[in-house]
């Protein structure tokens, strides 16, 4: 699905990612954990193609294509989705209109016919149920006046509507109460399939109580310093990050 090799990224001359290599195969769910400032969100933004992030070295292949050559909208159309840590409000733009524009942009790029309003509405009704939202939700302006939980559920709604191949969830769990967390986790779990992959970026092990990751990676100072399975996440939860730091220091 995606293969990142020896990736170096700078933001305004400051090096944030220092040689990341990661391969995610179809059907896999990878978790990336780490402290604030370790480079987690930078990785997410680079994959999605945000402007101010400068790749100084390395490569990213997305289903065989060179991801770094693609415009952000073309990455999205090719099936890469980012659930934003801080979803942006677009006042005055109806949530349904926005989502329909997105769906049709993806369809158009595939040479498919645009979906009409009636078909779209019946499709979206099904999806709304999956994230436990009522219909009034899609008639509100995009993320405008949404609570933190609503914003995150909206991201998941967009994900399951756009049906991407690779979903990157950037701290989708932060700021959620336990009920919202369960809904978000369920939304993701129901969406998992052998041909869809996920990169879940998180601070806490908490959401992993509701998900089954295949791999867990620890990001520290711009590098993946340790990889493992669910057990690694549990260890971090129990002991924090300092023991890994010590390990890294010893190895160096």
Partner 1 sequence: MSNELIKKSIAEDYKYGFETDIEQDTFPPGLDDDVIRAISEIKKEPEWLLNWRLKAYHHWLNMSEPTWANIKFNPIDYQSISYYSAPKKKSAGSLDEIDPEILETYTKLGIPLDEQKMMEGIAVDAVFDSVSVATTFKDTLKKAGVIFCPFSEAVTEHPELVKKYLGSVVPATDNYYAALNSAVFSDGSFVYIPKGVRCPMELSTYFRINAANTGQFERTLIIADDSSHVNYLEGCTAPMRDENQLHAAVVELVALDNAEIKYSTVQNWYPGDKNGIGGIYNFVTKRGACRGKKSKISWTQVETGSAITWKYPSCILQGDDSVGEFYSVALTNNFQQADTGTKMIHIGKNTRSIIISKGISAGKGQQTYRGEVKIMKSAENARNYSQCDSILIGDECGAHTFPYIDVRNPSAQMEHEATTSNIGEDQLFYCNQRGISTEDAVSLIVNGFCKDVFKELPMEFAVEAQKLMEVSLEGAVG
- Interface positions with partner 1 (CB under 8 A): 48-51, 71-73, 75-77, 81-82, 84, 87-88, 90-93, 97-99, 101-102, 105-106, 109, 141-142, 158, 162
Q: In whole angstroms, how close is the CB of 41 to partner 1 at the nearest point?
A: 13
Q: In whole angstroms, how close is the CB of 218 to partner 1 at the nearest point?
A: 26
The phi, psi pair for 168, rounded to 5°, reads -110, 120
Query: 91 or 111, CB closer to partner 1?
Result: 91
The pair of three-digit structure tokens given for residue 26, joined into one six-digit string? 């179809």
Q: Within 13 Å of residue 233, how many CA atoms lie on the same side as its CB? A: 23
How far apart CA 252 and CA 137 sit, in angstroms, is 52
How far apart CA 221 and CA 232 sit, in angstroms, is 18
* Residue 110 burial (CB count, 10 A): 9
Query: 81 or 215, CB closer to partner 1?
Result: 81
Q: In whole angstroms, how close is the CB of 195 to partner 1 at the nearest point?
A: 19
Query: 19 or 72, CB closer to partner 1?
Result: 72
Q: In whole angstroms, how close is the CB of 72 to partner 1 at the nearest point?
A: 4
Query: 158 or 172, CB closer to partner 1?
Result: 158
Q: In whole angstroms, how close is the CB of 123 to partner 1 at the nearest point?
A: 16
Asked if residue 27 lies in contact with residue 194, where contact means CB atoms within 8 angstroms, the answer is: yes
Q: Strand, coil or helix: what is 127?
A: helix
Query: 142 or 181, CB closer to partner 1?
Result: 142
Run of H or E residues at 102: helix 95-109
Q: In whole angstroms, how close is the CB of 136 to partner 1 at the nearest point?
A: 18
Strands (E), 153-207: 166-170, 197-202
Query: 51 or 231, CB closer to partner 1?
Result: 51
Read off the DSSP letter of residue 241: S
């Amino acid at each position: 699905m995606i293969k990142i090799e020896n990736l170096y990224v700078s933001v305004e001359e400051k090096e944030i990612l220092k040689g990341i290599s990661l391969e995610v195969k179809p059907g896999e769910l990878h978790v990336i954990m780490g402290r604030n400032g370790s480079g987690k969100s930078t990785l997410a933004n680079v994959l999605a193609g945000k402007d101010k992030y400068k790749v100084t070295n390395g490569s990213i292949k997305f289903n065989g294509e060179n991801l770094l050559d693609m415009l952000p909208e073309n990455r999205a159309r090719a099936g890469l989705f980012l659930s934003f840590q801080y979803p942006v409000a677009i006042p005055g733009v109806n949530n349904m209109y926005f989502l329909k524009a997105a769906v049709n942009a993806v369809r158009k790029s595939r040479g498919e016919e645009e979906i009409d309003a009636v078909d779209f509405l019946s499709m979206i009704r099904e999806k709304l149920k999956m994230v436990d939202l009522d219909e009034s939700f899609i008639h509100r302006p995009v993320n405008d006046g949404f609570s933190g939980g609503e914003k995150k559920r909206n991201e998941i709604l967009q994900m399951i509507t756009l049906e991407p191949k690779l979903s990157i969830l950037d701290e989708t769990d932060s700021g959620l109460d336990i009920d919202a967390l369960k809904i978000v986790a369920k939304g993701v779990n129901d969406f998992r399939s052998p041909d869809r992959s996920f990169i879940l970026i998180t601070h806490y092990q908490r959401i992993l109580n509701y998900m089954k990751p295949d791999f867990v990676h620890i990001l520290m100072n711009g590098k993946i310093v340790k990889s493992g399975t669910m057990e690694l996440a549990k260890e971090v939860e129990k002991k924090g990050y300092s023991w890994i730091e010590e390990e890294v220091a010893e190895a160096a």
